A and B are shown apart, each in its own frame.
Chain A
Amino acid sequence: MGHDQKYVDKKYEVVGTRFNRPDGIDKVTGKARYGADASAPGQLVGRVLRSPHAHAQILKINTKKAEQLPGVKAVVTFEDMPDLTSGDQGLADILENCMARGRALYDGHAVAAVAAVDEQTAAKALKLIDVKYKKLPHVTDVDEAMLESAPVIHQRIITRGVEPAPTKPSNISARTQMGYGDVDAGFAEADVIVEKTYKTEQTHQGYIEPHACLASVNPDGTAELWVTTQGHFVFRNVCASLLGFDIAKLKVTSSEIGGGFGGKTHVWAEPVALALSRKANRPVKLVMGRDEVFRATGPTSSTSIDVKMGAKKDGTITAAVAEMRYQGGAFPGNWAMLACMTAFACYDIKNNKSIGWDVIVNRPKVAAYRAPSAPMAAFAVESTIDVLAKEIGVSPIDMRLKNVAREGTVAPYGPTYGPIGIEHTLQAVKDHPHMRAKLKKNQGRGVACGFWFNIGGQTCTDLNIGVDGTVNLALGTVDVGGSRSSMAMIAAEELGIPYEQVRANIADTTSLGHNDMTEGSRGTFSSGMATVFAARDAINVLKQRAAKMWGVPEEDVIWENGQAVATGEGHGNLPPLSLKEIAAKSGRTGGPIAGHNEVTADGAGMGFASHICDVEVDPETGRSTIVRYTVVQDAGKAINPDYVEGQFQGGATQGIGWALNEEYIYGKDGCLQNPGFLDYRIPVCSDLPFIDTKILEVPNPLHPYGVRGVGETSIVPPLAAVGNAIANATGVRMTHAPMSPPRVLAAIDDLENAG
């Protein structure tokens, strides 16, 4: 279990401490401006008309009456959004998802939109749009959609990844296979084999802020978009492509974001708002209602997963197979492929095979939700490991330790792991006081592991030093969880100045080069890396200026503790120059002092976690209460531990909601029955205890500070941690998530009747 000593020994002044975030005051006083909090003179209210059917031909849309209503300034349909995608099917799918083109593909699919002088007029106008539908057969279940008898949603879909290729279209967009070894030989070696099927229902990221934007298009082809988003640069590129704008002429400003978790990485309302503004020649503010967010943005996949695992008496897993069916909504997606990459990633299994089926159904187009596809696969695999451990007679933790992935293990999807932290997290769990807490009647304890990789991606950062020595840091990655404070801390650390002298802001798209989305746990990793390099860039300039001020060669100047120091012969008497002093003279030594960095951050590390969950199950109602919960996760290097803990606790809570209550409920008519927070039940304050956290730091050798992304991994273990706890509390093995009271009660009753 090696640590990279140069990381462990490195002494930090600022990084690793706990500083208050710069945007804190605005957020606690109500001053912070989110997507719906901007207004423009003459703005109109935008509203979208949505299909009430799961699948229907749109025969005719009559907008005349709506257009003639006084106060209505524009009505748009797909005819106002011509297809400029030139054969790019991915972009064409986005366009069609934003506005139906002749066919409604899911309950809630946008069919038309209006812009009017106020809310009441817009609502009236929607009612005046006459749409003639012809209902078509629909399918919403992932297994049903794969049957021969299922209605085929897109005639162009021929399953990729199957040899020979099918001759008929189907709802299966792709088959993926990953892994290595010989699973048949592996099963032959096994003393115990466990085979189980699991099902998980669809969930939504559940951010409290609905999608909202303010679009303003000018007749000369320039436009502005204020929007809540995880990536304003990507939104700019996509909207520009869809609407035919020049990229440089579309200025996108990201508002504060009220939660994203992957759900604000795509456009839905924004191209429509721009189209309305273009037609009306006035700014249009388009805010989604909560029911629209549930029906018509990007929830997760619902899944159906088969797992088969075999092990020897000593606990060594000899073979593991997962066959996973994931629905991507009404358009092709890669969700099952992602599941194949993560299903067995925590373990070193000689013979492993993961097969993924990506399936199309009449549901909204799936988007990423915090470690997309991993929680469902982990539910299946981590539950099965517990069943296997029980049959063999090894403890759940020891079973995992026996087979844990280490540096040098080949991941199921190909790469060899560098230094990773999963063994450390398991050992920390084993030693944690939580494991010794006494369990009462009807209580059980469960453990589970999780993995998520992080991405690097394109990043561009500017650092500007003001004449008073205070620093502006312009970032392009949206701050979803407090990363502004971490970036400021990194800049302060590199420059050797107090944290309070650095101010981090998120710049608009006209001020920086391209930045990829804040997704894939890349925010602190990538912008952090770019900030380090931008600061070092600025330090070079500071040293040059100091050399100039002293009249000494540049090579004789070093930067130490926030100061330029003259080294070498004859310069020893020169007192050091602070950043403040150099900045004050910058106007006369060459002008403003800045540092800049563009980087495609490479070498994002893997984040591993182990969770412990204690649950109490009421045998009369099937209701599960979380009694105790601990998250142990490897962060590589925690820049601001407060915010790292926040990610652990937030992700774990979403996973708990997914495990116990959250699901999309579709009727036989294919329509969503619970598009609201009352019946889509996310955890509330009284549902939970304090969530204990332990940050481990196994440095990522590919980052200047050893940072690993932390934002996503914590949602991966909870489904199985809860399931394993329920099994230990009741003797019942739940295989259908969410493990809501009716399901648990039915399972308890079945067990009683059988016994």
Chain B
Amino acid sequence: MSNATLVSTTVNGDPVQFACPTDESLMTALRDRVGLTGVKEGCGTGDCGACSITLDGDLVCSCLVLGVEAEGREVATVEGLSADGELHPLQQKFIDHAALQCGICTPGFLVAAKALLDRNPNPSETEIRYALAGNLCRCTGYDKIVHAVQAAAKDMRKKKRR
């Protein structure tokens, strides 16, 4: 591997170190170096959102971030959503509302939906739709996804979790 750089970062709350070429994306580094294949490559150019993660709490396409940019920062992926073996309300509602068919876009949607609800615990339907407009789904027509996010938001407001 040419230009390998050692990166020290935090992923889903755990300290992680990996080596990657300086021109490698964080998406590829997470998948191939750290082994977290929940991050999906749909396009590699930031148009589909399947690789969505949060970086220090901000929603980003990991294919548009370099692996080396993760140095000293906090990365959160779909794998970090369920704590103590319990599904996050978003995950549970996605299953309950049949908000996934093939499921390839689901990790990205979950990360994006969580980023929305962290900022805005009571979004309107329009706010949900625009917050998720960066995540492409080809199977569902988004209908059940929006219902699932609304249901999870309601659930989370009730429990005042996270």
Contacts and interface: CB of A to CB of B under 8 A. Distances in A.
B142 A257 contact: no
B54 interface: no
A653 B142 contact: yes
Most chain B beta carbons < 10 A, residue from A23, A32, A118: A32
A684 B136 contact: yes
Interface in B25-70: 28, 31, 36-45, 47-48, 50
A289 interface: yes
Given A27-B103, A207-B102, A208-B104, A481 B45 contact: no
A686 B135 CA distance: 10
B136 A682 contact: yes
Interface in B131-162: 132-147
Interface string A398-412: 000000000000000
Interface string A196-212: 00000000011111100
Contacts of A652: 141
Q: Is the interface of A mostly helix, strand, loop or mixed?
A: loop
Interface in A11-58: 18, 20-21, 23-25, 27-34, 36-37
Interface in B109-136: 110, 126, 128-130, 132-136
Contacts of B82: 29
A685 B133 contact: yes
Contacts of B94: 24, 28
A34 B38 contact: no
Contact of A34 (B44, B104, B126, B143): B104
Give the interface size class of chain A: 35 or more
A200 to B, nearest CB: 19
A5 B135 CA distance: 45
Contacts of A29: 38, 78-79, 81-82, 87, 91
A178 to B, nearest CB: 32
A688 B141 contact: yes
Contact of A37 (B37, B101, B145): B37
A289 B44 contact: yes
A739 to B, nearest CB: 19
A289 B48 CA distance: 13
A331 interface: no
Interface residues of B, number: 61
Contacts of A646: 98, 101, 139-140, 144
Nearest to B28: A119
Given A30-B36, A30-B37, A208-B48, A24 B100 contact: yes
A750 to B, nearest CB: 32
B142 A685 contact: yes
Contacts of A481: 101-102, 139
A480 to B, nearest CB: 6
Nearest to A205: B138
A684 to B, nearest CB: 5
A642 interface: yes
Given A30-B36, A208-B104, A650 B44 contact: no
Contacts of A33: 37
Most chain A beta carbons < 10 A, residue from B24, B106, B138: B138
Given A27-B106, A30-B107, A653-B141, 18 more contacts: A18-B98, A21-B98, A28-B87, A28-B106, A30-B36, A30-B38, A36-B40, A208-B136, A209-B104, A258-B40, A649-B143, A650-B140, A653-B140, A676-B47, A677-B42, A685-B128, A688-B143, A690-B146
5 contacts: A23-B103, A29-B79, A36-B41, A677-B43, A685-B145
Interface of B: 1-2, 21, 23-24, 28, 31, 36-45, 47-48, 50, 77-79, 81-82, 87, 91, 94-98, 100-107, 110, 126, 128-130, 132-147
